[in-house]
Amino acid sequence: MNQKNRNNLNGSALRDERLQQLMDSCQQEVLRQIIGPFGLTPAMFNDKDGGNVTTQHNAKQGLFAKDSEEYNRADYDYSAAKREIMREAVKNGTMNSQEFVDQYTGNREPTKRENNNGKLVMNAELDHLEPVIEIHVQGGWMKDKEGRTELSSTKDNLHYTTHKTNRSKNAKRPEVALSAENGFDQNRIGPLSAKAREAIDQKLPSTTERAKYHGKELLSTGAQEAGRNALRQAFGVLLHAFVNGSFIELKKVFNEHRDEKSLIDRIIESLNRVMQRVIKKLKNTLDALIEGGVQGFISNLLTFLINNLITTSKKVVTLIRESTQNLWRAIKLLANPPVDMSAVEVAREVSKIIATIVTTGIGMLLQESAKGFITSIPVLIPIADVLATAMTAIMTGITTALIIYAIDRIFDWISSTGTELLQALEANAESQVEVVERMQTCLQVQFQSSRLYDSAVTEYHRICQSYSNASFQMQTVCVETEITIDSRNEMIEIFEKQIERKKKLDNLLKYL
């Protein structure tokens, strides 16, 4: 069987395996959603818009986490300051029984007015230049009743004006109610407003006090969230093991209907096996308890930080808590992946976790829409909450399983493509090895040739040296030969001269 056929068989087996995993995942994800975000979470948490800790941003939106932080006009009692300011006004002459000085205009106005019933009532009214409700949202919500009374009794913020001006101003800020467009002199209102603002700022919580207040609230609510989340996750592990094991055992009970044992005995045995499954999960329960506590505290802190910028709805608060659990898993996997898990497998698992976060979030946000659709059917109104929760959990679980299946298939394709590439690279590497081996053989031959060449060169140099020596000797012989020839020629010449002399001598002797 060639490699292509083997790859096709492997791909087919992998697809079958993924489909089986999809079926199992659908069951597990639906069960997990019913037990988790759409089941235990609403039962154990009472999430609210803005989270568990009031932020300054939320306070300006009128959202408070505790009833004691809500605006209550009765908490801002300034009756004592009112009596004292009236005594001072009478004493310094700015008020008497007939008229008073309107501190917003500087004009003298009647102290009393006639109401709709014809009775004389006070026209001079003491007004908070900076509205009390504005003082509350700027930080008064952090104060206790005594602190709020002190804020509302700030003398620099209390000014006498007419009933008409006081009613038209109501809870508006001075730059709006006492603007130049409304006929007020800003040269008079400006200093009054700046002085009032400065006096109130001195009594509002400082940065340190705000940090202490938020720190105390975060510790308190964080501990509560940690406890509830720890219990929810621990209970969720046990409940998941119990329900999942019950499904498995019920299937066995009905599939083994021909068993000789009675139905009651088989059910009792099944329950025992289910309890054994639950007991085996106790260690996981302890881990879930610890991790759930940490995640609950972190999600509470994260919600607080987000609400310093934007106000979160209660669904988003729930989503942050649920996301924290999955993000915790993703971060742990990225920070400390198992030794036998490759980078691609880590990326696969992290992608699944992110997909679960997204689908769960979308499901939770669409739950109200599902409830609205169900309540449009009159007969389903009594069970709308339960039905909407169940439907959303089932759809979210199935969607999550399908997305996880798609992620697996994508990574399988990537892995397959990568395998083919690796196989091609491997074949190329093998070819390169062969080429390298051939090059090695050639290099060895070349090395041997080089050694022979080196020997030949050495021998050539030796021969050249011999030739050089022989040449030198030849040159020496030639010189000696030339010398010998010259000597012989000289001897011949001497002999010739001697012979000539002898001849002359002989001739001479003949004549004698």
User: Residue 438 domain-assigned?
Assistant: no
Same domain, 201 and 247: no
Q: Is residue 260 part of a domain?
A: yes
Please report whether residue 414 resides in a domain. Answer: no
Task: Average the pLDDT over each of 168-182, 215-229, 399-413 and give the range with the smallest value.
Answer: 399-413
Q: How many domains does the chain have?
A: 2
What one-character-per-residue DSSP string does 416-452 give?
A: HHHHHHHHHHHHHHHHHHHHHHHHHHHHHHHHHHHHH
Place of tokens 């209907």: 257
Residues 139 and 175 both lie in one domain: yes
Q: Which residue has the higher pLDDT, 474 or 4?
A: 474
The reply to whether 98 and 134 lie within a common domain is yes
Of 83 and 414, the one with more pLDDT:
83
- pLDDT value, residue 390: 80
One domain for residues 192 and 113: yes
Q: Are residues 181 and 230 in the same domain?
A: no
For residue 317, give the nearest of 5, 65, 17 by alpha carbon. 65
More reliable by pLDDT, 348 or 90: 90
- Residue 158 Cα to chain centre, angstroms: 50
> What is the pLDDT, as a whole number, of residue 4?
45
Q: Is residue 376 part of a domain?
A: no
Q: What is the pLDDT of residue 7?
A: 47
296 within domain boundaries: yes
Given a cut of 80, whether residue 227 has pLDDT beyond it is yes
Where is the domain boundary, 169, 185, 205? 205
Residues 6+ apart with CB under 8 A from 226: 292, 293, 294, 296, 297, 300
> Helix H segments across 256-342?
263-280, 282-307, 314-335
Mean pLDDT to the nearest integer, 376-399: 81
Length of the chain: 512
Is 49 part of a structural domain of the chain? Answer: no
- Residues 150 and 268 occupy one common structural domain: no
**Quick one: pLDDT band at residue 512, thresholds 50, 70, 90?**
low
Q: Give the confidence band of 257 by pLDDT, cuts at 50, 70, 90.
A: low
Do 187 and 77 lie in a common domain? Answer: yes
Is pLDDT above 80 for 261? Answer: no
Let me know whether 144 and 219 are in one domain.
no
Pick 71 or 429 by higher pLDDT.
71
Same domain membership, residue 223 and residue 135: no
Boundary (domain end) residue, out of 253, 278, 312: 312
Question: What b/e string do you get for 306-330 counting C-beta neighbours within 10 Å, with b at 16 or more?
Answer: bbeeebbeebbbbbbbbbbbbbbbb
Report pLDDT for 497: 83
Distance, first Cα to last Cα, the chain: 136
Task: Please give the residue that has the higher pLDDT: either 260 or 322.
Answer: 322
pLDDT in tens, 478-510: 888 888 888 888 888 888 888 888 887 777 777
Q: Is residue 218 located within the same domain as residue 165?
A: no
pLDDT band at 267 (very low <50, low <70, confident <90, very high): confident
- 49 has pLDDT over 90: no
- Residue 298 in any domain: the answer is yes
Q: What's the mean pLDDT when you consider all of the chain?
A: 83
Given a cut of 70, is residue 6 above it in pLDDT? Answer: no
What is the per-residue pLDDT for 184? 92
User: Domain of 308?
Assistant: 207-312
> What DSSP designation does 40 have?
I
φ/ψ of residue 205, rounded to 5: -60, 135
**pLDDT range class, residue 422, cuts 50, 70, 90:** low
Q: pLDDT (tens digit, 9 = 90+) per residue, 295-344?
A: 888 888 888 888 888 888 888 888 888 888 888 888 888 888 888 888 88
How many angstroms separate the Cα of 362 from the Cα of each of 122, 355, 396? Answer: 59, 11, 8
* Candidate ranges 1-5, 156-160, 250-254, 400-404; pick with highest mean pLDDT: 156-160
* Cβ within 8 Å of residue 395, ≥6 positions away: 363
The one-letter amino acid code at 273 reads: R
- Do residues 48 and 314 make contact, with C-beta atoms less than 8 angstroms apart? yes
pLDDT of amino acid 168: 92
Residue 3 has pLDDT above 50, yes or no: no
470 domain residue, yes or no:
no
Q: Are residues 158 and 229 in the same domain?
A: no
Instruction: Supply 266's token pair.
Output: 């088989």
CB atoms within 10 A of CB 241: 21
Residue finishing a domain among 297, 312, 327 = 312
- Answer whether residue 351 shows pLDDT above 80: yes
- On the CB side of 129, CA atoms within 13 Å amount to 26
Provide the phi-psi class of 106: left if phi over 0, else alpha when psi is between -120 and 50, else beta. Answer: left
Give residues with Cβ within 8 angstroms of 371, minimum separation 6: 384, 385, 388
* Same structural domain, 142 and 213: no
pLDDT in tens, 169-209: 988 999 999 999 999 999 999 999 999 999 999 999 999 99
Measured CA to CA, the distance from residue 27 to residue 319 in angstroms comes to 22
**Residue 128, SS3 per DSSP:** strand
Which one-letter amino acid corresponds to residue 285? T
Confidence of residue 104 (pLDDT cuts 50, 70, 90): very high
| 186-195 b/e (C-beta count within 10 Å ≥ 16 → b) | eeebeebbee
Quick one: average pLDDT of 239-256? 75
For residue 464, pLDDT beyond 80? yes
